[in-house]
Amino acid sequence: MKRGVKEAILKALKDNKDWHPTARDIYKHLQERMPKLAFSSVYRALENLTRENKVRSFKLDCEGERRFEIKSKPHVHFKCTKCGRVYDIDMGINLAFKELVEMHTDHIITDVHITYYGICKECFRKKVKELVRDYNV
Ligand SMILES: [Zn+2]
Ligand SMILES: [Zn+2]
């Protein structure tokens, strides 16, 4: 059963690459197909997958719950303050800046999380459409 939960989580994350669900989101998603599933099993499986480096977990500044994703390569996130969606920005992370910080502080940086906040293109498009519609009436 335990292995089944882990595999189901990995599959769900692989099938929805732009999804950054919390443990609760994953639980709700899997429950449709696995009605007997317990939240604690999902939580434990996520802990193990994170430890095994198969999934990456991160917390956005303003959120209490961790989100999970399948990608292990560090990348920038963008969170829309209007619809709440979290997007991946697949442009890599500027490693020159990381090295500069290490050089100046003598710290060793092992991980980095950068999140930009703003209005996503979908919400922006919607807003523009609304404005055009309102002015045409
Ligand atoms: Zn949005
Ligand atoms: Zn991501």
Compute the distance from residue 18 Cα to the ligand 2 centre, in Å: 7
Residue 64: pLDDT above 80?
A: yes
pLDDT above 60 for 2:
no
* Ligand 1 midpoint to CA 26 (Å): 21
- Quote the CA–CA distance of 66 and 48 in Å, as a whole number: 14
pLDDT in tens, 112-135: 888 899 999 999 999 999 989 888
Q: Which ligand is in closest contact with the Cα of 71? A: 2
Q: Is the pLDDT of residue 8 over 80?
A: yes
- pLDDT one-digit tens code per residue, 27-60: 999 999 899 999 999 999 999 999 998 998 888 8
> What separation in Å is there between the alpha carbon of 83 and the centre of ligand 2?
17
pLDDT value at position 112?
80
Q: For residue 68, which ligand has an atom nearest its CA? A: 2
With vertex at residue 3, the alpha carbon angle to CA 52 and CA 57, rounded to the nearest 5 degrees, is 35
pTM confidence score: 0.74
Q: Give the DSSP letter string of 47-58.
A: HHHHHTTSSEEE
Cα(118) to centroid of ligand 1, in Å? 8
- Closest ligand to 119 CA? 1
Average the pLDDT over 78-104 and give the result.
90
Tokens of 79: 């969170």
Of the two residues 87 and 95, the one the predictor is more confident about is 87
Query: Domains in the chain, please, with CATH?
Result: 1-72 (1.10.10.10), 73-137 (3.30.1490.190)
Q: What single-letter DSSP state applies at residue 64?
A: S
> Could you tell me the pLDDT band of residue 79, with boundaries at 50, 70 and 90?
very high
Ligand 1 center from residue 33 Cα (angstroms): 29
Token pair of 41 as six digits: 């099993």
Query: Which ligand has its closest atom nearest to the C-alpha of 76?
Result: 2
58 CA to centre of own chain: 7
